[in-house]
Chains A and B, each alone.
Chain A
Amino acid sequence: MEATIVNIMESWPLQLALQTPTGLEHVTLAEDARIQHAGASVDPGALHPGQRVRVLKRTSRGEVAELEILS
């Protein structure tokens, strides 16, 4: 799923508000979520509102386990 980060809520792990093709979705990053950007792993601190991202994998609880930053 591709989406745009609308808001970053500073719980830990982070909660994100994502604008998807079907509407606004709230997700939580898994505590050990893997975030990629240009082939490299980055910290959650690299996320910011306005970025295009792709959710690659979720946990059984629906948390985002893998996320790719597209822009």
Chain B
Amino acid sequence: MGISVPKHKESDSENPGTGQPPKPGGCGCGGTGGTKPGESTQAPHSAVSSEAGGGGGESMLGEATPTVDQVAPSSNGQPEGGVLESVPGFDPQRAFGEGMPPAFLTEDLLELGECRPEGAPAETICGNDDRIEVTNTTLFPWRAICKLIIRFPNGATGGCTGWFIGPKAVMTAGHCVYSHGNGGWARQIEVIPGMRGATRPYGSMVGTSFRSVTGWTQSADPNYDYGCIILPSPTLGTQLGYFGFAALTDASLQNLLVNNSGYAGDKPFGTQWYNAGRVTNVTARKIYYMLDTFGGQSGSPTWRYLDGQRHAVGVHAYGGCPNSSTRIVSAVFNNMLNWRNS
């Protein structure tokens, strides 16, 4: 039976495009079918790895947007409630008011001003810059968010942000592990959890094994811009804890208050910056918001904080006000589960 090839086929840095039988993982919602063991899979949805023989299987499940919320738990979490992270100095008022239907906006919220005043840089700081530095990066979840220093095949060095999703799996953007402009798979990525300026409270670890999907590595499709670093040891992730993640329905995502934190390139090197706001638009593969971000924050988690658990719902990747994340849909969720369990 012919099966169209979705773009979530896993891609790896040592065995691009080779399919393998599907691995067990979270059950996606919607969709049908799946590849049979041994079936040739050059599916753009198939996950690929930077390692020989590390290609993952594909699943047809999850091309459709989720019809029910799919949730993978974080490493910790006690029921507490709350939606914004508690970051000293962050003003939540704008975040609460974004994206809300006009009927819900009070005069006070409206008087806070437009998100993008005339003349403001349009790229990624959307209106007033209300990012706040995270000063205690030894607390969770900040310690699970990592500065990435990347070496590309053409000799260029770059910076991104990553976050632990498992003991040795660090999630990031596809263009951080595979750069079409810099020669493909990264040569190596140094992962520095909870970096704060010159301080590396947990040291660092160098990864040379990467994951992404053929929709990004072969098609450069921004809808599939996500990837993962598989570290050589589970030591750091086990010590620091890791994020949960969730494939939420459109209804669950729309107007959701989300948090983001990452290593912005316009700030002092190695400092982590937090912002929050509401999801303003949702498409089949992307989540849009007016949160302030900047170059260097690609790969950072966009997460919901609810009932004491943190679940990433997207991987921040693009600027343009609105800025956007690659949405965690079922296919992404399933790949992430596989990478978490690598």
Instruction: Flag whether B138 is at the interface (Cβ < 8 A).
Output: no
Could you tell me how many residues of chain A have their Cβ less than 8 Å away from some Cβ of chain B?
Answer: 25
Contact A7 B181, CB 8 Å, known A13-B265, A45-B124, A48-B122: no
Whether B123 pairs with A45 at a CB distance below 8 angstroms is yes
Instruction: Flag whether B57 is at the interface (Cβ < 8 A).
Output: no
Whether B320 pairs with A49 at a CB distance below 8 angstroms is yes
Contact A12 B121, CB 8 Å, known A27-B181, A44-B295, A61-B154: no
Instruction: Flag whether A17 is at the interface (Cβ < 8 A).
Output: yes
Could you tell me how many residues of chain B have their Cβ less than 8 Å away from some Cβ of chain A?
Answer: 39
Give the chain B neighbours of A26 by CB distance below 8 A.
179-181, 220
Q: Of B193-201, B235-243, B311-319, which stretch is located at the interface?
A: B311-319
Whether B156 pairs with A7 at a CB distance below 8 angstroms is no
The winner among A45, A46, A62 for most chain B CB atoms within 10 A is A45
Give the chain A neighbours of B299 by CB distance below 8 A.
11
Interface 1/0 per residue, A1-36 and B, CB below 8 Å: 000000111111111110000001011100000000
Whether A48 pairs with B320 at a CB distance below 8 angstroms is yes
Contact A8 B320, CB 8 Å, known A13-B158, A28-B156, A48-B123: yes
Whether B176 pairs with A11 at a CB distance below 8 angstroms is yes
Contact A10 B318, CB 8 Å, known A45-B121, A46-B121: yes
Nearest B residue to A24 via CB reads B220
Give the chain B neighbours of A62 by CB distance below 8 A.
154, 181
Give the chain A neighbours of B297 by CB distance below 8 A.
10
Contact A10 B293, CB 8 Å, known A28-B158, A45-B124, A45-B125: yes
Whether B158 pairs with A9 at a CB distance below 8 angstroms is no
Which applies to chain A's interface (DSSP): helix, strand, loop or mixed? Answer: mixed
Instruction: Flag whether B331 is at the interface (Cβ < 8 A).
Output: no
Cα of A47 to Cα of B48 in the assembled complex, Å:
32
Instruction: Flag whether A66 is at the interface (Cβ < 8 A).
Output: no
Cα of A44 to Cα of B266 in the assembled complex, Å:
10
Whether A11 pairs with B155 at a CB distance below 8 angstroms is no
Whether B179 pairs with A28 at a CB distance below 8 angstroms is yes
Interface 1/0 per residue, B206-240 and A, CB below 8 Å: 00000000000000101001000000000000000
Cα of A48 to Cα of B124 in the assembled complex, Å:
8
The winner among B181, B317, B323 for most chain A CB atoms within 10 A is B181
Nearest B residue to A45 via CB reads B121
Residues from 292 to 342 in B contacting A, C-beta threshold 8 Å:
293-299, 316-321, 323
Contact A12 B159, CB 8 Å, known A26-B179, A45-B124, A61-B154: yes
Contact A61 B158, CB 8 Å, known A9-B317, A26-B220: no
Whether A9 pairs with B225 at a CB distance below 8 angstroms is yes
Whether A14 pairs with B295 at a CB distance below 8 angstroms is yes
Cα of A24 to Cα of B275 in the assembled complex, Å:
32
Instruction: Flag whether B204 is at the interface (Cβ < 8 A).
Output: no
Contact A7 B318, CB 8 Å, known A28-B181, A45-B266, A45-B294: yes
Give the chain A neighbours of B134 by CB distance below 8 A.
none
Question: Which 8 A-B pairs have CB atoms at the shortest separation, nearest pair first?
Answer: A12-B265, A12-B296, A26-B180, A26-B181, A45-B121, A12-B295, A10-B298, A12-B159
A sample of 11 inter-chain contacts (CB < 8 A) reads A7-B320, A8-B123, A8-B319, A10-B124, A10-B173, A10-B297, A11-B158, A11-B296, A12-B295, A15-B182, A62-B181
A14-B295, A43-B266, A48-B321 given. 6 additional CB < 8 A pairs? A7-B318, A9-B225, A10-B173, A10-B293, A28-B158, A48-B319
